[in-house]
Amino acid sequence: MIITKPRDWARITGNLESVGARRVFLMGCGQCATVAHTGGEKELEATAAQLAAEGYTVTGWTVGDVTCHLNGTKLDARKHREEIDSADAVLVLACGAGVQTTAEAIGKPVFPGLESLFLGTVVRNGVFEERCQTCGDCVLGETAGICPVTTCPKGLLNGPCGGMWDGMCEVLSDRECTHVRIRRRLTEQGRAGAGTLAPKDFSTALKPGSVNIRDRVTARQKPSSEGPPGRKGTR
C-alpha cells in the first residue's frame, strides 16, 4: 500500500490561502490512507475540526472507496455535488495519485492534505516499512522475496557492502543486512546455489509509468527492434 503522513499544516493553509479559499470540501480515501490512519473518517473529522477552529467552513466530506480510481471518484463527486460546488477548494487526504485523480474529477482547486512516502508493507498496525520502489524489473524471484533494491540502503544487488558487520547493516545499524537475510532465506529454502544477478535494466523504472491492459502492453516489453531505441509510452 501507499504510505502517507500528515502534511505540514502551514503548507495546507498556505495552499488554501493561495486561492483565497475559506470554504473547503474534504476528500479521504477508504484504502491506503485509512489503513495508514491518515485519511480515514477519524482523520477527516479531526481535519474538519481544525479547519473550523481556524475559521474555515467545511462544506462536507467523503471518504472515497478508492480515491485513485477515476470513475469511482467522479461518482463520489457527483454524490456530493452541492457540497463541492459551494466550496472554494477541495483538500484531499490521500496519496499523490488520489489527489491527482480528484483534481481530474473536480473542476476546483484541489490541494494535498498528506505527504506520500513510499510503497510499503503494514508490518503491524501503525508500523510501515518500504518494500518496493516499483522498478519494473523485479528480482524477488532470485532473492527469496526480499527486495535488495529497496531494503538495502545502497541498493546493492549481489551481496553485502564492505560495511556490513556481524550481519548488521552499516547504514541502518538496527537492522540486519539485507543480503544476510536473503542468503539465509535462500539457504532455508534449499536455494543456496542461486547465482549472481545480472545488472538491472533501469530503463524499466522510467516515469511516468502507464499500463493499458486492453493492449496487453506490459513492463516486460522491450523496445521494438523496428522502432527507435528508448522507452515506450507504457510499462
Of 45 and 137, nearer to ligand SF4 (C-beta) is 137
Contact 88, 109 (CB under 8 A): yes
Q: Count of CB atoms within 10 A of residue 58's CB? A: 20
144 interacts with ligand SF4 by CB under 6 A: no
Which of the residues 155 through 184 are near ligand SF4 (CB under 6 A)?
156, 160-161, 163-164, 169-171, 177-179
Residue 218 phi/psi, 5-degree rounding, is: -120, 175
Q: To the nearest whole angstrom, how small is the minimum distance from the Cβ of residue 12 to ligand SF4?
A: 31
Task: Please pick, from the candidates 63, 149, 182, 186, the single residue that binds ligand SF4 as defined by CB under 6 A.
Answer: 149
Binding pattern for the stretch 87-126 against ligand SF4, x by CB under 6 A and - elsewhere: ----------------------------------------
Of 89 and 164, nearer to ligand SF4 (C-beta) is 164
57 interacts with ligand SF4 by CB under 6 A: no
Q: To the nearest whole angstrom, how small is the minimum distance from the Cβ of residue 6 to ligand SF4?
A: 26
Of 36-44, 46-54, 69-77, 137-145, the segment contacting ligand SF4 by CB under 6 A is: 137-145
Contact 197, 142 (CB under 8 A): yes
User: Angle 216-220-226 (CA atoms, 0-180°, nearest 5)?
Assistant: 80
Q: Which residues of 68-105 are buried (b: 16+ CB within 10 A; e: fewer)?
A: bbeebbeebbeebeebbeebbbbbbbbbeebbbbbbeb
Of 153 and 209, nearer to ligand SF4 (C-beta) is 153
Task: Please pick, from the candidates 50, 57, 133, 203, the single residue that binds ligand SF4 as defined by CB under 6 A.
Answer: 133
220 interacts with ligand SF4 by CB under 6 A: no
What is the enclosing helix (H) or strand (E) of 112? strand 110-112
Indicate the SS3 state at residue 61: strand
Contact 168, 176 (CB under 8 A): yes
Query: How far is residue 1's CA from residue 123's CA, in Å, rounded to a whole number?
Result: 11
Contact 42, 76 (CB under 8 A): no
Q: To the nearest whole angstrom, how small is the minimum distance from the Cβ of residue 155 to ligand SF4?
A: 8
70 interacts with ligand SF4 by CB under 6 A: no
Q: To the nearest whole angstrom, how small is the minimum distance from the Cβ of residue 172 to ligand SF4?
A: 6
Which of the residues 182 through 211 are near ligand SF4 (CB under 6 A)?
none
What residues does 36 pair with on adjacent strands? Answer: none
Residues at the interface with ligand SF4 (CB under 6 A): 132-135, 138-140, 147, 149-150, 152-154, 156, 160-161, 163-164, 169-171, 177-179
